[in-house]
Structure 1
């Protein structure tokens, strides 16, 4: 077998071609956070009163008491901090208040069918087909949100938005990793999460000036059109093209990438030999993997067929929900604190910046496996420290929750990189889809964190988060180290990682 196994040996580990994909993914995650987190401004905490009764009767009552006393109210009035919210638009108060929470819940639920779609078809029809499908669905769902005439139309539209947002996010991560050289893969993979942070921090500023939920949704939807146009200048994954017998298309893409990175349209014989060598290596691995059945098509079931991939899959199915639950649980708890909504939102996003910087600086030296494991363990230990009563610091537990978020953010950033480096090209988005489904279990439970704190106290949450974080930290220790390896293209390639790279 020829020696050229790395795409970077042909087109370069980094250049204008990879930069285009990287910036496209960064902007995508900025806009993804808008649709994911804008619910806080669609349905903010709102004061209300019944216009059928004198203001003196309204002012002395709590929200619950108003609902109980004014059951026959025909006209509810809301404060003027916002021009229009889904609460004021459809009177989502009293016995209808659960519909407001349902709007966010179904968005998270949308990640599950999205994961199923990815698991079943993404590795068969290509990365760009899924990206274009998600754009179409997101734009149509966004338009439906803007012109919703009922809360139920809005809820269904949010479900479709969740499907589209998750679908594109997972596929873009896979596409970027298959395009980037191993020298830069770790750092840039972590930097991609910076797009989410930028969106998280900038959203309050946008929402401060746009206080109508329909116009805010229109802003998010129109922003997606920019990415849709940009996507026509993004190429299909070269590795996917080769593993799906599209050698001519793969060669054209490699020539384009080489020309962009080297600023030359002259392709020498040496480069062409490397292209042929690279294609033959990947095809030979694929032939070895499918000798038993020439009509073999990789499927999500392959995640459980071989021993090491099965082990890694089960670990990810457990660890990802833990990361999601702790991360979103702490984030939602911060959002429930008293104070200015916009300021709280910004602070919640700023907490993640030190985590990203810390991850960039240390992950390259400690590797992926130990870094993820230690951060989950430190998250658990931090939560346990929060159980220590300190009378002089009544907010001690709350402060430690911020530190716990710092550690779980580090873990979350790197475990996504690990996932894409461990699973082979033929299963990468299928694995990502199935892991997304598992991850959403944690994300859907997380919104109940504030209620659990109110009912059982913060020590209950600290104990629970500590327990599951420590379990996750121990499990990630059994994943293989993937730092500086060539990402595998076949099932056999992933099986060899576990045998050859145990450090």
Structure 2
């Protein structure tokens, strides 16, 4: 594909316009995931002694007081001054019911496991059609949830919770699916030497989506308003997917649809200001010869590819374990960082998003050093930072240092996550790239499933435990990457 892309323009106007479209499509995934920081924010419990009308200062036993409030001489309420109305406050998901709050994030992550289905559909029916299906599904999920929570319908909280919980599976599946499909599409329409650039621009828009959600949350301070905003944005994503999202020439070539591939490449060449592409007869002959000589483009299934050799089996296993550690650490740190250090949660969230952007910028080191070594360095530094967060006291004296180390850890794990998309995808041939990339991602997503529960261990078992676990898995990832080769590019 590199030779073909050079002929149509490796990074011309077509790719730049597609980059913007794909970036906006990717933003829906960030909005959905990071909105839970505010949707599921746990408010403080404020109790007032009714005998003297004074606030109780010793709140070490908040949950015990909450369980007996209004039955004795004091009254308790949830403090909505910071986050406003949240799912936790509206549905009373605190203290002994906090597990129901964690289940919402866990069910979303469970849904991401099934995104391999979208990977199969993308390899079978095309990147564009599958992205349209995912975007439409996301919009329907938000529409149903927003309607069912209208007060005029008078539906009880238990039913609303169950519908919301089940919808998280669909949302997780579709959001991860569309994010990775368009990410791979971005690689397939640009030359290999531009992959770091387009990856970073795409992820800068991903970070922008996080900041937009923070702004919306700060302005409205109402979880339903946040959900309506994301629902409207999902409609924009659907429109862009239908009318402006391109198909992948690699998909057409891999499925031997040379006529469609030629038409698309001609369109790309024309859009990029090239006078002409090659004649269809010459293109078909070249692609046919390439297909005969290139084993990876013959008929092959993901199963047969993996079990073709011990190394391919090990490679797939290692990539899955690496991805497990990445998702566990990335989501564990990202979704729990506002509770670290005791600083203003909106400020910490913004700093976290900026740290993520810096991590993506640091990925330009790929252009200087081998991707594999940069990948290892990022994971190692993430491991060290997480260990420091676990070791330092999370009190008034150490809160700033804890927050700083957590933010540096977020920077490193974000950079590693960025590299992982390109690194993993480059390991597989085009005809099964989406299937295997999403399969590896889905196996690894078990880490994201348990990340909310791991964070919960910090409150119920031992405060440093989550970051010790994050540190350990990041270190394991370093050794596994060291055992794998440097990817050479996309076919």
Whether TM-score is above 0.5 comes out as yes
Contact preservation (8 Å) 1:190, 1:417: no
Give the TM-score normalised by the residue count of structure 1: 0.84
Cα distance in 1 for residues equivalent to 2:248 and 2:421: 19
The residue number in structure 2 matching 1:404 is 409
SS of corresponding position for 2:317:
helix
Given that residues 119 and 433 in structure 1 are in contact (C-alpha distance below 8 angstroms), is that contact kept between their aligned partners in structure 2? yes
* Correspondence 1:480 to 2:485: yes
Which residue of structure 1 aligns with residue 434 of structure 2?
A: 429
In the alignment, the residues of structure 1 paired with residue 437 and residue 286 of structure 2 have an alpha-carbon distance, to the nearest angstrom, of: 25
1:67 equivalent to 2:78? Answer: no
Partner secondary structure for residue 234 of structure 1: coil
Call closer, same or farther: CA 1:473–1:393 in 2, change over 3 Å. farther
**C-alpha distance after superposition, 1:185-239 (max 9, x if no partner):** 2222233222221112222111111222222111111112222222222221111
Find out whether 1:237 has 2:248 as its counterpart: yes
- 2:291 aligned residue: 283
Q: Which residue of 2 aligns with 1:108?
A: 109
Distance 1:175 1:182 in 2: 13
Are the counterparts in 2 of residues 210 and 216 from structure 1 also a CA contact under 8 Å? yes
- 3-state SS in 2 of match to 1:7: helix
Stretches of structure 2 that go unaligned for 5 or more consecutive residues are 149-154
Do 2:119 and 2:181's aligned partners in 1 also have CA atoms closer than 8 Å? no
> 1:347 pairs with 351, 359, 364, which one?
351
Separation (CA, whole Å) in 1 of partners of 2:30 and 2:166: 19
Map of 1:154 onto structure 2: 164
Alpha-carbon distance in 1 for matches of 2:314, 2:206 = 30
Deviation at 1:112, TM superposition (A): 0.9
Q: How far did 1:134 drift?
A: 0.3
The answer on whether the counterparts of 2:28 and 2:175 sit within 8 Å (CA) in structure 1 is no
5 Å matches for 1:95-174? 95-115=96-116, 117-148=117-148, 149=155, 150-174=160-184
Q: 2: CA distance between counterparts of 1:410 and 1:108?
A: 21
1:248 to 230, 253, 259: 259
Separation in structure 2 between the aligned mates of residue 5 and residue 376 of structure 1, nearest angstrom? 30
Whether contact under 8 Å (1:177, 1:420) holds in the other structure is no
Q: Is 1:58–1:66's contact at 8 Å kept on the other side of the alignment?
A: no
Shift of 1:169: 0.8
| C-alpha RMSD of matched pairs (Å) | 3.2
Question: What is aligned with 1:310?
Answer: 313
Does the alignment pair 1:365 with 2:365? no
Q: Deviations over 1:319-369 (max 9, x none)?
A: 111111222222234221323332221111111222222221x11111211
Q: Deviations over 1:275-316 (max 9, x none)?
A: 3455234432467864xxxxx452345333334432321111
Structure 1 unaligned blocks of 5 or more: 291-295, 489-503
* Partner residue, 2:226: 216
Hey, what's the Cα distance between the residues in 2 that align with 1:389 and 1:161? Answer: 37
For residue 16 of structure 1, the aligned residue among 13, 16, 20 is: 13
Tell me which residue corresponds to 1:491: none
Residue aligned with 1:351, SS: helix
Q: Distance in 2 between matches of 1:469 and 1:94?
A: 31
- Identify which range, 395-404 or 329-338, moves more after superposition: 395-404
- Contact between 1:85 and 1:212, CA under 8 Å: does it hold in 2? yes
Q: Which residue of 1 aligns with 2:214?
A: 204
Equivalent residue number for residue 91 of structure 1: 92
Match of 1:267 among 270, 276, 280: 276
